[in-house]
Amino acid sequence: MKQTIFSIQDLKKYYLVKLGLFKKAYIKAVDDVNFLIREGEAYCIVGESGSGKTTVTKMLLGLELPTEGKIEFLGKDLSKLLSDARSAKDFRKNVQAVFQDPFSSLNPRKTVKDILEKPFKVHNEKIEMETTERLLEEVGLIPPKEFLKRYSHQLSGGQRQRVCIARALALKPKVVILDEPTAALDVTIKAQILNLLIDLKEKYNLTYIIISHELPLLKSIADKISVMYAGKIVEEGAAERIFNNPKHPYTLGLLESIPPPDPKSAKTKTLPTLEGEPPSPVNPPKGCRFHPRCPYKFDLCDKIEPEKVEIYSEHYVSCHLFNRK
Ligand SMILES: Nc1ncnc2c1ncn2[C@@H]1O[C@H](COP(=O)(O)OP(=O)(O)OP(=O)(O)O)[C@@H](O)[C@H]1O
Ligand SMILES: [Mg+2]
């Protein structure tokens, strides 16, 4: 069995917000999630806007503290790791991030060379010209000498994201957390960046945590998929299971945007469309949070929260349709 990189247990993040002059309420951004991320895996978290994906990644990066629950990195409690300067530095070196908007991620006053040298300076590591050139070659920015002197406004969106990926790889991390890495890019560029990520993962045995709201896009890269809805994981399993044997009605809805390979096929015709809006994170629906939008709901769904059931090896679903014994 591969080494466990992150272990996430009963994780919650509630934000206290003002609703009026005297009224306050909690936004339940992440509400009791559990999962394991193993070495070399591309672990993808998918869900609509507001489902809590970024909040999970902020906690994994140590940028937000959990309200409840525990995160372990390589078997050690993350909050303890971060409270010690040395181990915190080690963690930051090993766990890097790439965000959605490559434009705002890059300092407009710095050249690509400055940007790529910064991680080495922060970590007091030796930099050689070849190091930055090699990094640019790795991400397909060729000839590297030409790109080193450019500023971010002299790059296209795809090239900027390549620089962000090069910067994330500079210190040879174990894990790269990618929050919607292709959302701001054109369709063709999206595919190129995904292919680059697949190659780099193979080459450096990287572990990825990829956040996306487009489930179909993840098909070529995902090893495991967690489907989040209103702060909860409603389905989790090997990517191959999620694409070929999805169970939760919400997952089916997210897959609906895949063009059917064979339009005459009965299987693809039956996928339901996802109607309605995600619920309010302040007052999520009672019972199953998806029930107001679910085409298969029945009498239990608006009363009792479904438990997580393992329907196949490491394939979990939280839905009353699968809770019946
Ligand atoms: N600092 C904060 N204070 C209050 N509420 C917050 C804060 N950060 C996030 N939220 C709320 O928590 C919920 C989850 O937000 P999050 O950014 O994790 O969603 P997401 O799944 O990443 O969405 P998107 O796909 O739009 O990026 C949302 O309702 C959001 O408004
Ligand atoms: Mg987000």
Convert the pLDDT of each residue in 108-143 to its tens digit.
Answer: 999 999 999 999 999 999 888 889 999 999 999 999
Looking from the CA of residue 100, the nearest atom of ligand 1 is 27
- The alpha carbon of 54 and the centre of ligand 1 are apart by a number of angstroms equal to 7
Ion ligand 2, residue ranges at CB < 5 A: 54
Using CA positions, which residue lies closest to atom 30 of ligand 1?
A: 50
Rounded-to-integer distance, Cα 74 and Cα 291, Å:
37
Q: Band of the pLDDT at 271, cuts 50, 70, 90?
A: low
Q: Which of 12, 6, 10, 14 is nearest to 283 (CA)?
A: 14
Q: Band of the pLDDT at 266, cuts 50, 70, 90?
A: very low
Q: Is the pLDDT of residue 105 over 80?
A: yes
Give start and end residues of each alpha helix (H) in 33-153: 53-60, 78-83, 85-94, 102-105, 112-122, 129-138, 144-148
**What pLDDT is stored for residue 274 in this prediction?**
81
Report residue 143: phi and psi, to 5°.
-80, 135
Using CA positions, which residue lies closest to atom 24 of ligand 1?
A: 49
* CB 102 less than 6 A from any atom of ligand 1: no
The owner of tokens 């078997």 is 75
Q: Is the pLDDT of residue 282 over 80?
A: yes
**What pLDDT is stored for residue 276 in this prediction?**
85
Looking from the CA of residue 55, the nearest atom of ligand 1 is 18
* Other residues' Cβ atoms within 10 Å of the Cβ of residue 30: 30
Q: Band of the pLDDT at 269, cuts 50, 70, 90?
A: very low
Using CA positions, which residue lies closest to atom 2 of ligand 1?
A: 15
Using CA positions, which residue lies closest to atom 6 of ligand 1?
A: 15
Tokens in use for 175?
Answer: 């894990």
Domain range list for the chain = 4-322
**What pLDDT is stored for residue 268 in this prediction?**
45
* CB 47 less than 6 A from any atom of ligand 1: yes
- The alpha carbon of 100 and the centre of ligand 2 are apart by a number of angstroms equal to 8
**What pLDDT is stored for residue 102 in this prediction?**
77
Rounded-to-integer distance, Cα 239 and Cα 84, Å:
36
| CATH class entry, domain 4-322 | alpha beta
Tokens in use for 215?
Answer: 């489930």
User: Could you tell me the pTM of the whole model?
Assistant: 0.93
Q: Band of the pLDDT at 104, cuts 50, 70, 90?
A: confident
Mean pLDDT, the chain, rounded, equals 92
Tokens in use for 153?
Answer: 């406004």
**What pLDDT is stored for residue 13 in this prediction?**
98
Amino acid at 22: F
Q: Which ligand is nearest to the CA of 230?
A: 1
CB neighbour class for 139 (10 Å; exposed up to 12, middle 13-18, buried from 19): buried
SS3 category, 251 = helix
- The alpha carbon of 226 and the centre of ligand 2 are apart by a number of angstroms equal to 15
Are 178 and 193 in contact, with CB atoms under 8 Å apart? Answer: no
Q: Is the pLDDT of residue 263 over 70?
A: no
Q: Percent of the chain scored above 90 by pLDDT? A: 82
Question: 288: Cβ–Cβ under 8 A, 6 or more apart, which residues?
Answer: 294, 297, 301, 302, 304, 305, 306, 318, 319, 320
* Other residues' Cβ atoms within 10 Å of the Cβ of residue 80: 12
Q: Is the pLDDT of residue 89 over 90?
A: yes
Q: In what order do the strands lie in the sheet with 315-318?
A: 95-98, 175-179, 207-212, 42-46, 224-229, 232-238, 315-318, 308-312
Q: Band of the pLDDT at 262, cuts 50, 70, 90?
A: low
Q: What is the pLDDT of residues 182-217, one digit of tens each?
A: 998 998 899 999 999 999 999 999 999 999 999 999
Rounded-to-integer distance, Cα 62 and Cα 56, Å:
10
